[in-house]
A and B are shown apart, each in its own frame.
Chain A
Amino acid sequence: MTSAFFHFLRRYPTVAVGGLLMLLLVLTAIFAPWLGTQDPTQIAPLYRTRPPSAQFWFGTDLLGRDVYSRVLYGTRVSLTVGFSVAVLSTAIGAVIGVIAGFVRWLDVVIMRIMDGFMSIPTILLAIALIALWHESMRTVILAITIVEIPRVVRLVRGVVLSLREQAFVEAAVTAGASPWRIMVRHIFPNTVAALIVQGTYILGVSILAEASLSFIGAGVPPITPSWGNIMAEGRALWQIRPHLIAFPAAFLSVTILAVNMLGDGLRDALDPRMSKED
Chain B
Amino acid sequence: MIAYVLRRILSAIPVMLFVAFFVFALLSFAPGDPAALLAGENATPDDIARIRANLGLDQPFFTRFFHWIWHVLHGDLGTSLFTGQTVGHMIAQRLAPTFSLMVLTMIVSVVIAIPAGAWAAWWHNRWNDRLVMLWAVLSFSIPSFVVGYILAWIFGLKLRWLPVQGYVPFDQGLWASVQTLILPAFALGSVYVGLITRFTRSTLIETLSQDYVRTARAKGVSNRRILFRHALKNAAVPIVTVVGSGVALLISGTVVTETVFAIPGLGRLTVDAILRRDYPVIQGVILLFSFLYVLVNLAVDLLYTVFDPRIKY
Contact = CB atoms under 8 A, between A and B. Distances in A.
Contacts of B29: 132
B143 interface: yes
A85 interface: no
A131 B277 contact: yes
A275 to B, nearest CB: 9
Contact of A231 (B138, B145, B202, B255): B145
Contacts of B289: 120-121, 124
B137 A127 contact: no
A239 B141 CA distance: 24
Given A121-B251, A132-B30, A208-B143, A127 B274 contact: yes
Interface residues of B, number: 51
B149 A249 contact: yes
B248 interface: yes
Contact of B15 (A119, A215, A245): A119
Interface stretch (A59-67, A69-77, A109-117): A109-117
Interface of A: 112-113, 115-117, 119-125, 127-128, 130-132, 204, 208, 211-212, 215-218, 231, 235, 238-239, 242, 245-246, 249, 252-253, 256-257, 260-261, 264, 276-278
Interface in B142-174: 142-143, 145-146, 149, 153, 157, 164
A260 B140 contact: yes
B293 A121 contact: yes
29 contacts: A112-B18, A116-B14, A117-B22, A119-B293, A119-B297, A121-B252, A122-B252, A123-B252, A125-B286, A128-B286, A212-B143, A212-B255, A215-B256, A216-B255, A217-B274, A218-B275, A231-B145, A235-B260, A238-B149, A239-B157, A239-B164, A242-B153, A249-B149, A252-B146, A253-B141, A256-B141, A257-B138, A264-B137, A278-B124
B270 A124 contact: yes
Contact of B279 (A115, A131, A238): A131
A174 B201 CA distance: 44
Contacts of B23: 128
Interface in B265-294: 270-271, 274-275, 277, 279, 282, 285-286, 289-290, 293-294
Secondary structure at the A interface, as helix, strand, loop or mixed, is helix
Interface string B190-205: 0000000011011001
A253 B22 CA distance: 33
Contacts, number: 127
B55 interface: no
B274 A112 contact: no
Contacts of A212: 143, 145, 252, 255-256
Interface of B: 14-16, 18-19, 22-23, 26, 29-31, 124-125, 137-138, 140-143, 145-146, 149, 153, 157, 164, 198-199, 201-202, 205, 248, 251-252, 255-256, 259-260, 270-271, 274-275, 277, 279, 282, 285-286, 289-290, 293-294, 297
Contact of B205 (A116, A204, A252, A278): A278
A131 B293 CA distance: 22
B143 A252 contact: yes
A121 B248 contact: yes
Nearest to B140: A260
Contacts of A256: 141-143
Nearest to A208: B143
Contacts of A253: 141-143, 146
B184 to A, nearest CB: 15
Nearest to B133: A277
Contacts of A122: 248, 252
A128 B149 contact: no
Nearest to B276: A131
B30 A131 contact: yes
A124 B255 contact: yes
A127 B312 CA distance: 40
